[in-house]
Structures are given as C-alpha cells and as structure tokens.
Structure 1
C-alpha cells in the first residue's frame, strides 16, 4: 500500500526551509508521496515549492492537490509543470481543479458554465503536457503552443471532482480524480460509479 502525506496544514506556519524539512521527514518516515495545495488568493506557489522540495528529497512523489484552473492559463500551467517535472526527475503528479467560487470571486473570476471550462481546460492542457503541442479553440479557452524542448516524461494529471459531470470529465480526460473531505462510503457509492 502506498500512503502519502498532505502538507496543506503547513501553509500557515512553515517557510520554505520548513517545507523542505517536513518533506525530508515524510520521506524518511516512509511516506510515498507529498502533496501541496495552492491557495488561489495568496501564499506559496505550490509548483515552485515542490521544485525546491524535489531537489532536496530523493524518492518521494510530489503532487499538487490542487492548482486552481481559473487564474492560470493551461499553456502557462503546462510550461511550469513540464519544467518542474524535469527539475525533480519525473516525480510530479499535477492535480488541478476549479477551486471554490467564493475564492474566484475574490479574484474577479466567474464562469457560469464550469464543466465547459473544465473540459476546455483539459483539451488545452493535456496535449501540451503529453506531446508538447496544442492547437485548440473553445468557447472559453484558446491555446496554440509548442513546447520548446521535447516532453520526455509527462506528469500525471488528476482533477479535483465531486459532482457527476466533473467526475465524468476527469475520468475521460485525465488520470482520474483526487479527493478531499470524503470517506470510504462516498468513494464506493458515488465516486467510483
């Protein structure tokens, strides 16, 4: 069995060196993965932090749970994720999600069709992450880009999803979902089906 640790509780009390030490301890204690959230309205940049951590630990998988989609264009996120993946030697798991509307309101971001946003976001993100090329035009997202270096080992991409429509998009277009605040009954009866 693989067991990871969610380092989100560290956000309010740790600095960069504190996160590095926390991740080293997690690796020494036998955890197989280390996860960070990115608060959309301030705080540490999770991918930058995982790059620093990844250069300081040897084996542990590093992941985001989650990077909010609305504030970051998928081409910008793909470039950053591919850079992190190369810097930490192929140990990145990129978790994305739409975040909470109240937080997006604080940034002046609103979308009345969130499932369309999620689908179009993945239509732009996934080809660029997997092949280094994208050329899509949707109702809300347009992306035409080529990676400047070859994609050797793309990071796994998961999507935070709880509702049936978001779960279908995550299951069809990504490696799956990452969950928070749910128990085994919800996973068995709602998420898996």
Structure 2
C-alpha cells in the first residue's frame, strides 16, 4: 500500500510556486503521491504536470474532475499532456459532481449522472489508449477527425472515479481502473464499497480495481480542538446525500466523525484499518488544519509508514 497527500495552496500568493514547494517537502518526507482537487480555480491536470516535472519520482493525480461541463476530448488532451510531462506518473480522477455546483456554476441540468459517467469513461478510454475515438452515445459524441494522441503518453492514463454509491461503483468497476472514495471509513469500505466495485470489475473481466482512499486527517496532541475545527470545514459535505450516506455507513453521524485525528499511534492504527478494509492506497487531506508543524509531523509519520 502506498501513502500520499492532497495538496492545497489556494491561499498562497502564488498557488503554483507554493504547491511545488509543498510537493518537494512531501517527497522529502517519503511520501509517494500528491493529489490535487479540481474547483473553479487552478486547473488540476496542469498543476499535476508542473509538480510532476519539478518533483521527479512523485506520482501526481487529479481528484477529481466532474464529468458535467467537460468533454472527453478535452479531458483526454489534458490528461495525456500531464502523463507525457511526468513520464507516466499522472493519474486522472473523475467525479459525478453535485447538482448544486453543476447547475449553479455551469447552468446545465444535473441529469442522468450515471449514464453520463458511463459514456464519458467509454469515450475517454478509447482516446487515452488509442488516440482515436468513434463514440456516439445518448448524451455524448466523441470522434477524432484529427489525431488525439499526445506523443510521450503512449502508456495510457490510469482512470479513477470518485465513486461511493452502488451505481457509480458498478460503472467504475466495469469501465475504470479504480476509485477515489472520500470520507468513507474502514467499515464502509470493507462492507459496501470494496465488495461492490471488485465484483463489478470481476464480472467485466477487468483486473482488481485500485482503491485510493482519501482520508481527512492529521497528527496532533490536541485531538478534540482539531476535530472541532474539522467539523466546521467538513460540514459542507454533509448537505450532499452521497457523503451523508457513506458517513453513516462508516458508523458516523457527521463528516468529522470519520476524520483521522490523534497522535502517531492512533493515526498509524487507522491507516492499518484502511489497509485491512481493502484500500490499496491512502491519501491524507486536511493535514494543514492544525498548522505547519502538525502538517510536517503528519507527513513524517506517513513517510515512515510508506517506507
């Protein structure tokens, strides 16, 4: 199992420079991967490409690009460029997104998300593996009157999905290389998520999927105070049924209940629980919530566990 971190320097004077510095620090601590969220700010694949070039040996990934408001041709171009720039160390994450952000931000209806995900993955797989596509679905069309291959990205791009619900897990098992569940504790992984996506992959004749568990957590001696702060930050996710459901399946009532917060022994024990629940990779986010010293302490532990 590999260990990584999600990096967010969106409050810096220059987000790109600051992210590169954080990535260099993470790699020096022994971490294996760095992941970047996609909002309406910095472009995640571009950020990953820059970091991957600046920090050799570090795998980089997007977690995750919503399929609404994008097109497979454009996302393939971004992903292949990042893959070539990093010489095979880029991992593309996709997401359904949410009705709130889709309809408010893009002004398009959030309709038939699973069908759109299936069509998006099917067309994108053609593009990233062959550089061509001839896909005509109900919701998407992707054809290539011009070549869509980026030289240097011949190995293809790993496709992951931020899937947690039954239908999204089924589609991901059949069409993707793995999943990126967030705020899903070990119980939800072991009893619901991993069995569902693994069964779907097996039925489709695909290899066992990667399970990249995104965990909100930090090492600290003041767990109560940090958890209270985490509850404020994570409350945003509680309005979305998919997150509320997976928190409940994890045995929690609020999103902060599944956060991994405590001293080194407590956090290491939780990492082991994720591994035993089926996670092939664990990526920590929110490590800066208690300040730079706590972040460095967290990364030092994760680097030690990764080694």
Q: Give the TM-score taking structure 2 as reference length.
A: 0.60
From 65, 68, 81, the counterpart of 1:67: 65
Q: Distance in 2 between matches of 1:20 and 1:192?
A: 33
1:188 maps to 190
Higher helix share: 2
From 95, 98, 113, the counterpart of 1:100: 98
Q: Distance in 1 between matches of 2:167 and 2:125?
A: 19
Q: Distance in 1 between matches of 2:137 and 2:126?
A: 14
From 82, 88, 91, the counterpart of 1:90: 88
1:159 maps to 161
Correspondence list, 1:23-38, <5 A: 23-38=23-38
Instruction: Call closer, same or farther: CA 1:12–1:69 in 2, change over 3 Å.
Output: farther
Report the secondary structure of 1:55's partner residue.
helix
Structure whose alpha-carbon radius of gyration is higher: 2
Q: Which runs of 4+ in 1 moved over 6 A?
A: none
Quote how far apart the aligned CAs of 1:119 are: 0.5
Is 1:129 equivalent to 2:161 in the alignment?
no
Instruction: State the number of aligned residues.
Output: 190
8 Å CA contact 1:90–1:153 kept in 2: the answer is: yes
Q: Distance in 1 between matches of 2:185 and 2:61?
A: 21
Q: Give the TM-score taking structure 1 as reference length.
A: 0.94
Q: Distance in 2 between matches of 1:164 and 1:38?
A: 24
8 Å CA contact 1:111–1:117 kept in 2: the answer is: no
2:3 maps to 3
Quote how far apart the aligned CAs of 1:148 are: 4.3
The runs of 5 or more residues in structure 1 that have no matched partner are none
Report the secondary structure of 1:96's partner residue.
strand
2:180 maps to 178
Give CA deviations for 1:60-102 in whole Å, capped at 9, x if unaligned.
1000110111121011100111111001111001001111110
Q: Distance in 2 between matches of 1:24 and 1:101?
A: 36
